Amino acid sequence: MKERSDLHEGRLLAVYLNDHLTGANAGVSLIRRMVRQHRGTPMEPQLERLAGQIAEDRDSLREIMTALDIPAMHARAVLGRVGEMAGRLKLNGRLVSRSPLSDVMELEVMRLGVEGKAAAWRSLQSIAATDARLDRGSIDRLLERAQRQAGQLESMRTAASDRVFAPTVRRTQTRAPARSAPGAKAA
């Protein structure tokens, strides 16, 4: 009975890590596209650094999977690429051109992806505590880097959000005060 349970747990870990690999592939594609979109802008250097780190993190996940004898399910990788491409079809207020909202949404997606990656590293920390095939120190460093990446993406997302939405907020704050409700007496 124990052997069957171990096989089941191994299958679950394989599915889990392949799902994260699928997400990592989509994330690498998205961040590289973001770098291309921001060539020559102040965002380019930071996006370029993040793209390199995110690609390295994906490679680290592949190495961990190899150490655990978990094969990559290539059909899932294709799904990740298709999913990233489908994400480009999102409604952003414009039919064919890029919208300022695109930056906000893409940075949010990347932040969520990095948060998911951090959760995977946390799961692998617990496995590394009992499985000598994994280096706990390396996983700890990957988690720390994911936390830094999430902070950087949040700063960029906040700045993009301010660029998109703050002018709207300022315009609505300078409008004339709203009229009194019907039937209310004037002061």
CA distance 52 to 186: 63
113-135 pLDDT, tens digit each:
999 999 999 999 999 999 999 99
Looking at every residue in the chain, the average pLDDT score rounds to: 84
Q: What pLDDT score was predicted for residue 145?
A: 98
76-100 pLDDT, tens digit each:
666 655 655 555 555 555 555 678 8
Assign a CATH topology to domain 10-88+100-167. Ferritin (1.20.1260)
54 within 8 A of 142, measured Cβ to Cβ: no
Q: What pLDDT score was predicted for residue 187?
A: 46
Domain ranges of the chain: 10-88+100-167
21-25, 29-33, 96-100, 158-162: least confidently modelled range: 96-100
37-88 pLDDT, tens digit each:
999 999 999 999 999 999 999 999 999 999 999 999 876 666 655 655 555 5
Q: What share of the chain is helix, strand, coil (3-state, %, to 5)?
A: 75, 0, 25
Res 140 pLDDT > 60: yes
pLDDT, mean of residues 25-44 = 95
57 within 8 A of 145, measured Cβ to Cβ: yes
- The predicted model scores a pTM of 0.78
CA distance 62 to 77: 12
**Full DSSP string of 4-69:** HHHHHHHHHHHHHHHHHHHHHHHHHHHHHHHHHHTTTSTTHHHHHHHHHHHHHHHHHHHHHHHHTT
6-10, 11-15, 19-23, 111-115: least confidently modelled range: 6-10
CA distance 145 to 82: 27
Res 6 pLDDT > 60: no
Q: What size, in residues, is the chain?
A: 187
Res 174 pLDDT > 80: no
User: pLDDT band at 21, cuts 50/70/90?
Assistant: very high
- Dihedral sign, Cα of residue 9, residue 15, residue 18, residue 23: negative
74 within 8 A of 25, measured Cβ to Cβ: no
Q: What pLDDT score was predicted for residue 1?
A: 45
